[in-house]
Amino acid sequence: MKRAALYSRSRGAREAAPPADAAPAQPAAPARPSLLRRLATRRNLLLPLAIGGLIVALVFTATSSFKPAPRQITQRDIDRAVLHTLNTKPLPSAAAKAYEAVRRSVVLVRGITPGENGEEDSDDAVGTGVVIVESGIILTNLHVVLQAKELRVVFADGSESEATVAGLRPEHDLAVLRAKAVPDDLQPATLGSTQGLAPGDQVIAVGFPFGIGPSVSAGVISGLKREFRSPQGKRVLTNLIQFDAAANPGNSGGPLVTMSGEVVGIVTAILNPSESRTFIGIGFAVPIENAAAGVGLHPF
């Protein structure tokens, strides 16, 4: 009797045939990467970025630590800066600042004879005035307006107005004028006491010499309580301020101004023994206390 073979030498015999009614085999799904593998991949991407950011931070920190601290400003630095400014941008002179303080208060005073038959008006006198009240009250000299048939004043902004005589002080050669129309921004001058004046103090005279101006001349107080007699000998003025800032015909009635910009006098006369009537170094001004009293004001 033959014994059954335990092993077959045929490959087909070793592989079991599928049943006839079995379904066809499905292809195997691809294996999904594990969570650890995904985290490792993401770490490999982020690691270079993190290292780069760390390097940038370290470089910034190192640069900041080696940056020198700001130097403290010393008095020597300040002195150098001030000296540089003074050398490159000079400050206005004391005379220029005094003029700036008073210039908008100075007016040209014209004594006019109206023209007839279509002729132009003629100037009988030309002088200077200074506004002391913003409503249009102006101080000038009596001899500037005495013979005028009509008065006009020209303000610093170029506007012009008729003016009338509101008061006279013959003993001080002063006249008070009132302008009929004034600029909106008319600025009265600041009046200053003469009590503190001394020979040698700097002053300026502002006016319209020979109708040219406004013109500024600078000088000093030459003396106080001076006396002046007119060339005709008809008039004697006392308690005058003597000064050496240039003044000529047309300066009459203009302000004498300190370096602080305060009006301390009204220019009234010049001394010249000759008949030329030009300045030779001696001028006189009425103290502002006397001038202000002419309009019933006390300036202090």
Residue with tokens 């195997």: 28
* Contact criterion met (CB below 8 Å) for 14 and 5: no
What is the Cβ-side half-sphere exposure of residue 164, based on CA atoms within 13 angstroms?
A: 3
CA 203 to chain centre: 23
* Contact criterion met (CB below 8 Å) for 130 and 285: no
DSSP conformation class of 286: E
Q: In this structure, what are the phi and psi dihedrals at residue 39, rounded to the nearest 5 degrees?
A: -60, -40
User: Is 252 a residue of the active site?
Assistant: yes
Residue with tokens 């970025």: 49
User: Is 173 a residue of the active site?
Assistant: yes
First to last CA, the chain: 161
Which position among 105, 161, 172, 173 bears the catalytic label? 173
Which position among 161, 215, 217, 252 bears the catalytic label? 252
Residue with tokens 């799904």: 29
Q: Provide the pairing of β-strand 137-141 with 236-243.
A: unpaired
Which position among 143, 172, 215, 217 bears the catalytic label? 143
Active-site residues, by number, are: 143, 173, 252
